[in-house]
């Protein structure tokens, strides 16, 4: 075998090895990506942003609720709900709260029910206050209680606000999310809120709200 032939074979073997290594790396990243997708994300939820309560829970979800563009990229299709972004015309939301991220959508269920979904993400405490404060300031009468939402083998808790004014009734479920149990404001906090107009009884209105929330989370403990 000539020297040129041996050199050619060595180069060929090196190229084949390089291709195989690249394929293995790509396959490894694909498997890791799938594992991360299957495992999902973990967040901590509570009904109060200012103190830790007995309703604090660790949640597993396939959605990334960390502060960042991922919040704006949450899908418009959630289960059998179809969403639509709603432009926020109330500039006071941005002036007073100064949120880092704000998502406001209207979701319509295949069966005809609709609700409003909003996320406020921020590292500032001024960005958050109980939604019932806004209702009360606008003349609404409010009743507040804790509402359990079955998720996986556990329960997620939300604060339920029933607001009445001039014959109109809104039913609100909301809670706060953090990346971990440290609940460090510098890591970001997200207010998760679902609002629906009263249709039938309060219980009948709450059920689809719970079903909507359950689409986001797979386990609570």
List of residues 6+ apart from 76 with CB closer than 8 A: 82, 83, 84, 85, 105
Which residues form the domain of 22? Answer: 1-39
Asked if 106 and 27 sit in the same domain, the reply is no
Indicate if 54 and 118 belong to the same structural domain. Answer: yes
Residues ≥6 apart with Cβ < 8 Å to 96: 126
Co-location of 64 and 133 in the same domain: yes
Radius of gyration of the chain (CA): 24
pLDDT digits (tens, 9 = 90+) for 7-56: 666 556 566 655 554 554 445 444 334 434 446 899 999 999 889 999 99
Contact assessment for residue 116 and residue 102, using Cβ atoms and an 8 Å cutoff: no
CA–CA separation, 13 and 19 (whole Å): 10
Regarding whether 191 and 90 lie in a shared domain, the answer is yes
Tell me which residue has tokens 């007073």: 96
How many helices (H) and strands (E) the chain has is answered by 5, 11
Cα separation, 185 vs 125, whole angstroms: 8
Of the two residues 105 and 87, the one the predictor is more confident about is: 105
CA gap 64, 76 in Å, rounded? 14
Are both 98 and 60 inside the same structural domain? yes
Number of domains in the chain: 2
| Same domain (yes/no): 33, 48 | no
If asked whether residues 64 and 13 sit together in one domain, one would say no
SS3 29: helix
In this structure, the answer to whether residues 182 and 114 fall within a common structural domain is yes
C-beta pairs of 195-200 under 8 Å, 24+ apart in sequence? 195/115, 195/116, 195/117, 195/118, 195/170, 195/171, 196/113, 196/114, 196/115, 196/116, 196/170, 196/171, 197/168, 197/169, 197/170, 197/171, 198/168, 198/169, 198/170, 198/171, 199/113
**pLDDT over 70 for what percent of the chain?**
78
CATH number at residue 138: 3.40.1000
Q: What is the mean pLDDT of residues 175-181?
A: 96
Do 16 and 64 reside in the same domain of the chain? no
Q: Are residues 89 and 173 in the same domain?
A: yes
Residues 148, 215: one domain?
Answer: yes
pLDDT tens string 65-98: 999 888 888 999 999 999 999 886 665 665 666 7
pLDDT of residue 28: 43
**Among 83, 74, 53, CA closest to 190:** 74
Task: Kindly state the tokens that stand for 59.
Answer: 């949640």
* Residues 60 and 33 occupy one common structural domain: no
What are the percentages of helix, strand and coil residues in the chain, rounded to 5?
35, 40, 30
């Amino acid at each position: 075998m000539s020297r040129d032939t041996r050199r050619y074979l060595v180069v060929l073997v090196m190229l084949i090895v390089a291709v195989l290594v690249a394929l293995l790396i790509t396959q490894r990243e694909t498997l890791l990506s799938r594992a991360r997708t299957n495992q999902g994300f973990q967040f901590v939820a509570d009904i109060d942003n200012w103190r830790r309560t007995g309703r604090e829970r660790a949640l597993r979800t396939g959605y990334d609720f960390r502060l960042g563009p991922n919040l704006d990229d949450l899908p418009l299709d959630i289960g059998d709900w179809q969403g639509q972004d709603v432009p926020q015309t109330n500039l006071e939301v941005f002036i007073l709260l100064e949120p880092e991220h704000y998502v406001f959508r209207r979701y319509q269920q295949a069966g005809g029910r609709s609700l409003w979904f909003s996320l406020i993400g921020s590292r500032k405490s001024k960005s958050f206050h109980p939604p019932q404060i806004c209702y009360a300031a606008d003349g609404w009468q409010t009743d507040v209680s804790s509402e359990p939402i079955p998720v996986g083998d556990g329960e997620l808790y939300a604060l339920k606000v029933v607001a009445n004014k001039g014959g109109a009734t809104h039913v609100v479920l909301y809670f706060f999310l953090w990346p971990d149990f440290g609940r460090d404001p510098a890591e970001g906090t997200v207010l998760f809120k679902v609002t629906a107009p009263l249709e039938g009884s309060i219980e009948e209105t709450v059920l689809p709200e719970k079903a909507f929330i359950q689409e986001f989370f797979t386990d609570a403990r």
